[in-house]
Each structure stands twice: as C-alpha cells, then as structure tokens.
Amino acid sequence: MIPKPLRTLVTRTAILLGGVLALNITSSIAVNALRFATDLKLKRVALPCGVCRGKGFYICKLCKGNANIHWSPLYDPVAFNPCLCPTCDGNRVQRCLNCLGKGYN
C-alpha cells in the first residue's frame, strides 16, 4: 500500500506534467499552423527568386553538377583524387542561398 502523502505527491506531479505536455503540444501545433498560413500568403504575393528562378535549387557551384571534385592535399599536386562534393553531397544540386530553398523572396 502506498502511503497517502506519497500518493498525493505523485498525483499532483502527474497532473502538472500532463498540463505542461498538453500546453507544449498545443502551442507547437498553433505555431506550425501560423507558419504554414504565413508561408502560403507570402507565396501568393511574393516575387520568384531571381537567382534560382523560383525553383529553390540550382546546379552545384563547386562541382558544377558532376557530384565529385578532383582534390589533392598537396600544393603542387602530382595526382588528383576524385572525392564526393562536400557542398551538394553528390546530389548535383544545392539549395538556393538567396531564398533558402523556398523559391520566393
């Protein structure tokens, strides 16, 4: 049998943590809904990005769309090593840095 003071403490702690959890979930849903509504409104009235022409992505500028770069650790290299592009991770496109991938300003 659980003593009455301990049972009361556990019950109040559970109620308090449940309330905090419910408030956290409710506020995160509200913030995400407001962010989504704001993005939709901006997308309707905003001009498309001039750098990526509204796509949100463009060809990687480091590897020029090849997915790998020729790299050598020496200043005057004798041989080059093909390495995976660190900018696009081999995807050949990178997110537009002007609009952060949204497609509009």
For 49, counting Cβ atoms within 10 Å of its Cβ (0-12 exposed, 13-18 middle, 19+ buried), the class is: buried
Same domain, 77 and 58: yes
Same domain, 27 and 69: no
Same domain, 12 and 53: no
Same domain, 25 and 54: no
pLDDT of residue 70: 83
* String of DSSP letters for 25-43: HHHHHHHHHHHHHHHHHHH
**pLDDT tens digits for range 50-85:** 999 989 999 999 999 898 888 877 777 777 788 899
Same domain, 90 and 55: yes
Which of 78-82, 87-91, 97-101 has the lowest average pLDDT?
78-82
Length of the chain: 105
Q: What is the mean pLDDT of residues 12-23?
A: 96
Q: Identify the domain containing residue 28 by its residue range.
A: 1-45
> Nearest Cα to 101, choosing from 59, 36, 49, 61?
49
Q: What is the mean pLDDT of the chain?
A: 90
> Nearest Cα to 62, choosing from 100, 29, 89?
89
pTM: 0.58
